[in-house]
A and B are shown apart, each in its own frame.
Chain A
């Protein structure tokens, strides 16, 4: 089955620094990947759609200059949280599916803690 891997699984950083989270499709190519954020006891909130070779599409209310998304290859999308602050502490999850497939697979998530 389709496998999506995220790295790192958890990261702690100081306020003001930037953090990069990777999302990889291990056994398929993905022209589209999705990034979500989840706060404690809340549902997943879609942040953006990552498109290979073009700009990401951000959901309303998500700052594109704050959350930089790069989808440079068919198997890798990265989310960079720039100038992170404690309120950016959250669980970040990506998903993707093979082209033409009806099922999206999720990564295990990356927990970011900003001190």
Chain B
């Protein structure tokens, strides 16, 4: 599986946009970029995924560079409840394809 690199921690003020970067320079052509987050003592929660086009849903936006070697997850208006560990993962499509977690970014949203 391709590896990803994320900063270990980030801070964000409540109400501001949180921009979480991820490097995946060895991503393969058929691999998607997935973002999950884990709030303390809970199972990971799916946020968004994409192949090469930018994606947006009710939770976040995903910006993937044209060469697909990096991406940014954007939480447009961070709230205290967005404090969590955010994981960027690259994975081939299909229900049988496993998700391999890296160390993630610990996002702290402060008042």
Contacts and interface: CB of A to CB of B under 8 A. Distances in A.
Interface of A: 4, 6, 30-32, 34, 36, 43-46, 49, 91, 93, 95-109, 111
Contact of A97 (B95, B100, B102): B95
Chain B facing A: main interface SS: loop
Contacts of B102: 43
A44 B42 contact: no
Interface of B: 32, 34, 36, 38, 41-46, 49, 85, 87, 93-96, 98-104
B99 A102 contact: no
Given A91-B41, A108-B42, A109-B43, A103 B96 contact: no
B99 A32 contact: no
Given A44-B101, A103-B34, A104-B95, 8 more contacts: A31-B95, A32-B95, A43-B87, A99-B95, A103-B46, A103-B49, A106-B44, A108-B43
